[in-house]
Amino acid sequence: MALTHQVQALPPPIGVFLGANMLLKRAPYLEQLTNWPISGRHIMAQSDGKTMVVYQSYRPEIGNYAVKHQRFGGDFSFERMTWIKPNFLWMMYRNGWGSKVGQECVLAIHLHQQAFEDYLRQAVYSSYHDGLGMNRAEWQAQVKQSEVRLQWDPDHDPYGEKLPRRAIQLGLRGSVIKRFADEDIVLIEDISAYVYEQAEHVRNQQLQHLVLPQESPLHIEDVALRAYLQLDSQ
C-alpha cells in the first residue's frame, strides 16, 4: 500500500522516551486488529474501567509545560475549544504521526473515565441530522450554549486510509476545559518519541513491527447515553 502524505519524515524526538516506564499499555497492531470492530460507531480507547486515555498534540512549549506540571497552563489557551481523542490512530491521522507543525509533542492523557462520560452527557453534536430528535433551530440553540461538542468521523488505518468504522472526538470549552485541566486528569505522559519510533515502521511498511496502545470499544453502561451516541455493539 502506498503511503499517504500523513507519514512524513519526522523531527528528532522531543522530551524523553519513557520506554518500559510508560504507563500506556501497548500491544502489536496486527494482533489487536483481529479483535477490533470493522465498522460502526465505537469509542475505541484504553481503559481499565476507572481511568482511560485520550490524546492531544501541541507545540513543545505547551506539551512540555503540561508534562512538567501535570496540568495545562503556560501558553495553553483556556479561551479556545480543545479537542480530545480517545482513539490513537485517529490522533495519528490528525497530527501526521507527530510530523505536523505545532503538533510535534504528543500527549497521552490519563483521566477519570467518569469525567469522560460526563463530557459525553453534556455533548451536543457538531452537525445536525434528523436522528437528534429536535429541529434545526433547537439544535443550533443547544450548540451555542453547550460547552462540549461531539463529532463522529471516519477512523483511519496506520497509513491514513479511511475505514468504515467511525471514531469519536470531543471539543471542550468554557468551564469544562477548566475542569479537564484542574480536576479530571490523573497523569500526562509525553509519548512523542514512542510515536516517532512507531512511525518508522509505518513509513517502511512494516506493520508486523508496529506496536500500538491497547484499545477496545469503551463500555458505556448508561443505556440512554448509548442511544444518544448511537453506539454500535461489537
Dist CA 116 CA 53 (whole Å): 10
Torsion sign over Cα 186, 43, 230, 35:
negative
Nearest to 45 by CA among 119, 148, 103, 131: 119
Sequence-ordered list of residues with C-beta below 8 angstroms from that of 24, at least 6 positions apart, any chain? 46, 53, 108, 189, 191, 194, 213
Give the C-alpha distances (Å, rounded to integers) separating 86 from 20, 132, 145, 156, 223: 22, 23, 24, 13, 20
Q: Which residues contact 138 (CB under 8 A, 6 or more apart)?
A: none
Show the cell assigned to 34.
Answer: 483481529
First to last CA, the chain: 27
Return the closest-CA partner of residue 167 out of 123, 217, 118, 108.
217
Question: Model's pTM, two decimal places?
Answer: 0.90
Residue 79 DSSP code: S
Q: What is the pLDDT along the chain (234 residues), one digit of tens a residue?
A: 444 445 554 544 433 344 457 899 999 999 999 999 999 999 999 999 999 999 999 999 999 999 999 999 999 999 999 999 999 999 999 999 999 999 999 999 999 999 999 999 999 887 777 677 777 787 777 778 899 999 999 999 999 999 999 999 999 999 999 999 999 999 999 999 999 999 999 999 999 999 999 999 999 999 999 999 999 875
Instruction: Record the cell numbers describing residue 139, joined without a space.
Output: 439544535
